[in-house]
A = this chain, B = another copy of it.
Amino acid sequence: MAHEIKFGILGCANIARCLVRSMKLLPEVKIYAIASRTLAKAQSFAAENELPEETKVYGSYDELVEDEEVDALYIPLPTAFHVEWVLKAAAKKKHVLLEKPPARTVEELKVMVEALDKNGLQYMDGTMWMHHPRTRKMEAVLHDSSRLGRILEVHATFNYHAEVAYNSIGGLTADVRGNPDLDGLGALGDIGWYCARGILWAYDYEMPASVTAHPGASYNEKGVIVSCGATLVWPDGRTATFTTSFNTSHVMKLLVVGETGSLESDDFTLPASNVKSSFKVVSNTSWKDKLAGWHRTEDFQEVTLEIPQEAHMIREFARLVANIRNGTGAVEPKWSEISVKTQMVLNAVKQSIENGLKTINL
């Protein structure tokens, strides 16, 4: 296929298996090469994930970045390595799809985004749910003022039990997410990321005036955040809260509350089913006479998927890259802008926790 985008995959993280499966579904995308720190590891990933026979297999990241055939890199490396490899990618004119959390600090992320931007290269972070067709349907509700009215509160929670999830490799501490040298933000970066993004998304990416962490944040023995929460306040008094934890069963809830209605999803970041997903809008609420209950109109919307949400993400990224390559489009700045905003919120939460729950003004 002449117009396909050739992807190089930098690293063999678990999340890469998810994206590889989806790349195989997309005719406009080619898994051109995979690299790991050793050739054996890359070969084993290629075999396990049934990569096409022609896929190149590299035993070092440098070899892949040097390959002039590669259009774009998908980088699922641990966060601590992102700056190094994104800067190398930018120097070699590769567009970058970067796993989240993209950076340990806002400054790191800005360095990466600016390097790509200066070279006319597209950046996108790996926040898959942004690209799910359900998200478009939820946006239609949010932007229709006759549904929720003015949005005044957003509440997000994303939890899973990391000790159980990473049990086979020795628990959370053995995983990237539990190691401050590899990922400085722990649960905040891994799953709090989605809460912060969900809140910003619901408020159409308007930044809060301040971020204040909640008491009760917890850490693992290596000093990585395992659970935490925060309240965001906008200049006009609108608010949002989120909580995130590596200690409980899966919870992925987003609740957007407006003057005249509310919208909720029970699995906003990753639909429980890859085929069908849903959300609920509650509106027209009022008390019944003598408080014998309350009236509400429930609008339950379902969305059926033909390809997984990450395939929609890769498709959109590839479309932008193709348009830049053939001169019909320019870099879409939205993706780096909302990535920086999300990172700003997360780092403010961390700063607030580290400063005795001080309110951090943004």
Contacts and interface: CB of A to CB of B under 8 A. Distances in A.
Given A229-B241, A359-B215, A249 B255 contact: no
B243 A214 contact: no
A81 to B, nearest CB: 21
Interface in A38-64: none
A250 interface: yes
A239 B230 CA distance: 13
Contacts of A295: 272
A285 B247 contact: no
Nearest to A226: B237
Interface string A139-160: 0000000001100110101011
B262 A251 contact: yes
A327 interface: no
A290 B18 contact: yes
Count this chain's copies in the assembly: 2
B215 A285 contact: no
A155 B157 contact: yes
A1 interface: no
B294 A250 contact: yes
A74 to B, nearest CB: 15
Contact of A296 (B161, B250, B293): B250
10 contacts: A21-B292, A152-B245, A153-B159, A155-B157, A160-B287, A210-B215, A229-B239, A249-B261, A250-B285, A251-B282
**Closest A-B pairs by Cβ, 5 of them:** A250-B285, A214-B231, A216-B233, A216-B239, A274-B292
